[in-house]
Amino acid sequence: MARKAEKERTRDGLKLKIVNPNAAGIDIAYGEMQVCVPEDRDGDNNRCFGSFTCDYEEIASWLKACGITTVAMESTGSYWAGFWTNTRMD
């Protein structure tokens, strides 16, 4: 029988292993996007943006300034497509 994965508990809960330190997460919904970068990248590491092209550009600039190279997106429906099309990073 396989052993259960070892979990390290901290005062605030479960501590997860960092797999990609240069990753950000984006929750995309109609009308807004919640974007989160690692805590050590910005004093305000969790921001809310709109869903217009100018907002996409602002997000891309912020992610680049924070040294982000990978983004995980969670989207309701196909709202991710506009963001992805307009902000693919080199």
Q: What is the pLDDT of residue 46?
A: 97
In the predicted model, what is the mean pLDDT of the chain?
85
pLDDT digits 0-9 by tens, 12-23: 677 788 899 999
CATH class of 22-87: alpha beta
Task: Taking residues 46-74, report their average pLDDT.
Answer: 94
Q: What's the pTM?
A: 0.76
DSSP letter for each residue of 37-70: --GGG-SS-EEEE-SSHHHHHHHHHHHHHTT--E
For residue 1, pLDDT over 80 is answered with no
